[in-house]
Chains A and B, each alone.
Chain A
Amino acid sequence: MEREHAVAFTLNGERVACRPAARTHLGDLLRAEFGLTGVHLGCEHGVCGACTILVDGRATRSCLMLAVQANGTVVETIEGLTERGAVADLQDAFHVRNALQCGYCTPGMLVTAAELLAEEAAPGREAIRAAIGGNYCRCTGYHAIVDAIAAVAEGRAAREGGGA
């Protein structure tokens, strides 16, 4: 049985190929092989949420997925989401509301928030708190993060309402 495997996948819109060791988790691969240092490893046991990325459009703990399992998938990190503007309103709201301090949780928090808002247009504060309940933030006390996500939900609703 092989301990390294050729994998090819779409990473932030680009086709990439590499040959990771089977034991390497996806977070390590993205950081070491592709320099995507926005993937933050806070615990490597799936609890802190800092390494959360999108795999085939779903929020995924990159530390709990083997790099070899990325074969054939579409992977997006905060770098790619930023580049295509997918989380621009969230980033703006987090900035204005100071919904981050050290910034270590922030990429994972943004990915989690983006998935929430894609699935639920108008989550209440409690739903927002539940959705980010698996993303540690040790700095903010969460209140500002909830405010920022709620503001984005309202902003998106207003824009869509205005266009109707």
Chain B
Amino acid sequence: MSQTGTLTWFARHETRLAWRDWLAMMTAGRRRGLKTVAVALILFAVFMHLLAYAMVGRFADMDVDADKTSLVVITASLFLFWSLMVSQAMESITRAFYTRSDLDLILASPTAAHRVFAVRIATIALAIVLMAVLLAAPFIDVLAGLGGARWLCAYGVAAALGFAAAAFAVTLTIALFRTIGPRRTRLAAQIVAAIVGAAFVIGLQVGAILSYGTLSRLDVLQSDAFVAHAPNIGSALYWPARAMLGDARELAAVLGLGLLSLVVVIAIFSPRFGEHVIAAAGIARTAARQRPWSRRFRAATPGSALRRKEWKLLLRDPWLMSQSLMQILYLLPPAVLLWRTFGQGGTLLVLVPVLVPVLVMAAGQLAGGLAWLAISGEDAPDLVATAPVPPRHINRAKIEAVMGAIVVVFAPFVAALAWLSLYHALVAALGIVAAAASATQVQLWFRRQAKRSQFRRRQVSSRVATFAEAFSSISWAATAALAATGTWLAAVPAAIAIGTLLGTRLISPR
């Protein structure tokens, strides 16, 4: 056993907490679920390997001396991967600042706080690296299996990107802390995390639409103009790409730089971490003055009171805003495409059917999140349950609140579509309603009281609900996609969606 208060002692403590946290997240706190989780993970790994085979199998023969275009595409893909890691790391760092749990104990103890925070940052970095490696594993395995062991170097690249992402996220979060203060950092970091994760891919897609009138990001990366403007083939920017292709020297450099960046960041920032945590804890006790919506009580039925309350809470929830921002950001390319289609007098009209499933999918996902907040994330369940309102009326008001929010977000898109094609607007509207209603219904069947702050982990409470919600959204999106092309085959995914819902109803607890 290591001596108390040392780095290794703290590391053991942190590792144990992280392991239990992960286990609880995977099994939803039920030990019996471990076997099921293991089986599910194996099935998921098999599925991911098949998917990876379909996606990257044809690139396995790519040589270490790849041409500039290939290096540009690989580098961009790695950058996308890295930005997602940064997004994840920022969220973990923000939680480390604002989730108090054991921080009072640590800061009140006579131990050197900088050691605890050094270990805590390192644990976050290791978790990010582990996630990076696990996410990349199916793709690397497929490439190594088909193209040779040299592709295994990509594991090192994934780890290096994880280290660098954690280092960058810590730096960015602390920079936010120092520039805009602890009160605004919480929300800003969440928004930045969402934007960082989505911005690159969305930026490429918007660029593709504006420049080439296509939704393909690859077209932009492989275009002559883009490649010509990219750095010279000897640039250090391509080290990660070369390392991935099996260049051992570049791999050593990339891994060394990634690790070094993390060590430097830990050395610089861990002594100040405690101060920031104390500052963050301080703002939690400060009451925010709210500009009243009205200085007078407005007449309300129980239903309208519930709807208004839900909308106010949704608008005032910074965590929700950041979590939902990603879903809303993905609507940006369809919005640009619609705008371009108007501008070009309908020459891009051929792409309109592509928009329909994107909108339907986004609506299902957004509705699932909002429904969870309104139904399971009710902060005063006893108050609502003791009100003289029949439970079915309460549920109806909450469903109306969710569907109202969906209408506000998606109505402009449907209206714009209607201007171009009434038929496609109708298909999109029906798809949006079906996907949103299905996701909301699943949340009603699997409601389990939780705090709103647990929104990020809402999938933990029921894996069945999560899969059912995602699967029904995908099925409705497929239905809309096929219906948009005018084929009766749309009935097949629609039947699958309805079947999914019926099956979910049968195994739901209520």
Specify whether A and B are partners: no
Binding site for A on B (CB under 8 A): none
